[in-house]
Structure formats: C-alpha cells, structure tokens
Amino acid sequence: GQISRVFVVLQLKHQIIKMLVESPQNEAGLDYSEIQKYYSGSTLLITGGTGFLGKVLIEKLLRSCPGIAKIYLLVRQKKGVTVDKRFTEQFSGPIFCRLHQNM
C-alpha cells in the first residue's frame, strides 16, 4: 500500500544521501577539477534548495567546491514555519554532518 511506497522512497533517499556524503573528498584535485574551476569565485542563487535534491546539491557544492564565493538560497515561509526556522533546519539534517565535523 501507500505506507510501503513511502518506505521505499525514504529508503532510496537515505541510500542516495549516504552514497553522496560518503563519496571520496577531492583530495587529489582530479575528480572535480573542472567543476571546481568553473565555480571558483562564483556567486550562486539556488531555488528549491530546501527540497531533497536541493539539500544534496548544496552539501555537495559546499564540500567539493571550496572556491565558491557566495551561495544565496531562496527560502519561503511554508505552512506556518518561518523562513528563519526553515533556513536553520536546512543545515541541521544528517546530510550536513560531514560538513559540521570539518568546521
């Protein structure tokens, strides 16, 4: 039923997050060098960043592209939750644990 579909979706999201977070850091400068060069010194505007793929994108950019100058995240109030609370919750999830450890 619907509960099993929700479980499968959550399980898939967990596997994707685990795969992306545990992927090797670009220590040798080889895997992401072109992407790092492209984003170096850039200012980004991200919409949809509080959704599942948005969180994955932001985490990956912050971890893999340290040369990004600024990231602007467009966040709106939703269902009685303020923008400030949604923004704070954005970076407290498990996907950002690795970044918090390196800070």
Task: Give tens-digit pLDDT for 10-24.
Answer: 565 556 555 555 555
| The pLDDT of residue 42 | 92
Report which of residues 28 and 87 the model is more confident about. Answer: 87
Contact 73, 84 (CB under 8 A): no
27 vs 29: CA distance, rounded Å: 6
User: Which residue do the tokens 């994108």 mark?
Assistant: 57
Q: Fill in the DSSP letter of residue 95.
A: G
Residue type, 42: S
84 vs 103: CA distance, rounded Å: 22
Measured in whole angstroms, the distance separating CA 86 from the mean position of its chain's CA atoms is 14
Q: Which two tokens stand for residue 11?
A: 């399980």
Considering the entire predicted model, what is its pTM? Answer: 0.62
Residue type, 39: Y
Encode pLDDT of 32-80 as tens digits.
568 888 888 999 999 888 888 888 888 888 888 888 899 898 888 888 8
